[in-house]
Structure 1
Amino acid sequence: MTIDDPVFGIHPAALQLQRRRLELIAANIANADTPGFKARDLDFREVLASAQTVGRVSTGEPGYRLAVQPSADGNTVDVQIEQAQFADAALRYQASLQFLDARIKGLLTALTGQ
């Protein structure tokens, strides 16, 4: 049984997607003062919708986030929004980890009979 086994559902793919999203958001925050930097993010719903048509979840193509407020140097990073998005992605990542942990513990209980 691998982590890609259907018994784990979509959660292994969701972990990969959220990890990629966390990396993108961290890069956005790191480049908050870089002139001309364009904030990027993944749209989880879009990737999930494409997975339903293709049959598998990919890491998705990041899109550019629209600037809430224009800046003189062309940077589209809003640190407060990025921090909120990072917290949201981290929470979703943790939820998938907890689901997988519970599933693995349940399988071990079924196998050992305890």
Structure 2
Amino acid sequence: MSISLENALGILPQSVDLRAQRMEVLSSNIANADTPGYKARDLDFRSQLEAAAGGGGGQLAMSQTSAGHQDGSGGAGGAGGAEMKYRVPSQPALDGNTVDPQMERAAFAENSVKYQSSLEFLNRRVSGIRDAFRGDR
């Protein structure tokens, strides 16, 4: 009987990876809060996780007829290949900057808590698998 680690861990590794990518994007937004013309970006966690889980969000995959063609992901990779989107500002600055520092900090804090939760769930799943192999449970 073979055991699949991917089946045992489920979607948790992809969730942790996407949370880490989103944290990088949000910290980049915060760092560029005073940069003229900087456009705040974010990634849609839900759609990216669905795509990682194999759901794909109901979209059809594009086929490439040549290796030189774009992959059709629609984004500038930026965060490890996750599709990046521009954040719609509530009050854009006169210099063209769309970063709202308070909103970015709140999103960063929320994402940090969810990142820690995902890590804890993954840690407990790995501990459960380890205990099962040892026969502790």
TM-score relative to the length of structure 2: 0.73
- C-alpha displacement of 1:6: 1.7
Cα gap change, 1:9 to 1:59, in 2 (>3 Å): farther
Is residue 102 from structure 1 mapped to residue 124 from structure 2 by the alignment?
Answer: yes
Aligned to 1:32: 33
Q: Unpaired segments of 5 or more residues in structure 2? A: 58-79
Q: Percent identity?
A: 46
Q: Quick one: which amino acid aligns to residue 15 of structure 1?
A: V
- Structure of higher CA gyration radius: 2
Match of 1:69 among 85, 91, 95: 91
**What is the aligned residue count?**
110
Cα gap change, 1:112 to 1:50, in 2 (>3 Å): closer
CA contact (8 A) 1:20 1:59 kept: no
Aligned to 1:53: 56
Q: CA separation in 2, counterparts of 1:18 and 1:50?
A: 14
Partner secondary structure for residue 108 of structure 1:
helix
Q: Unpaired segments of 5 or more residues in structure 1? A: none
Aligned to 1:23: 24
Q: CA separation in 1, counterparts of 2:26 and 2:116?
A: 16
Q: Quick one: which amino acid aligns to residue 87 of structure 1?
A: A
- C-alpha displacement of 1:59: 4.6
Cα gap change, 1:104 to 1:53, in 2 (>3 Å): same
Q: CA separation in 1, counterparts of 2:7 and 2:112?
A: 24
Q: Supply the RMSD in Å over aligned alpha carbons.
A: 2.0
Q: Quick one: which amino acid aligns to residue 39 of structure 1?
A: A
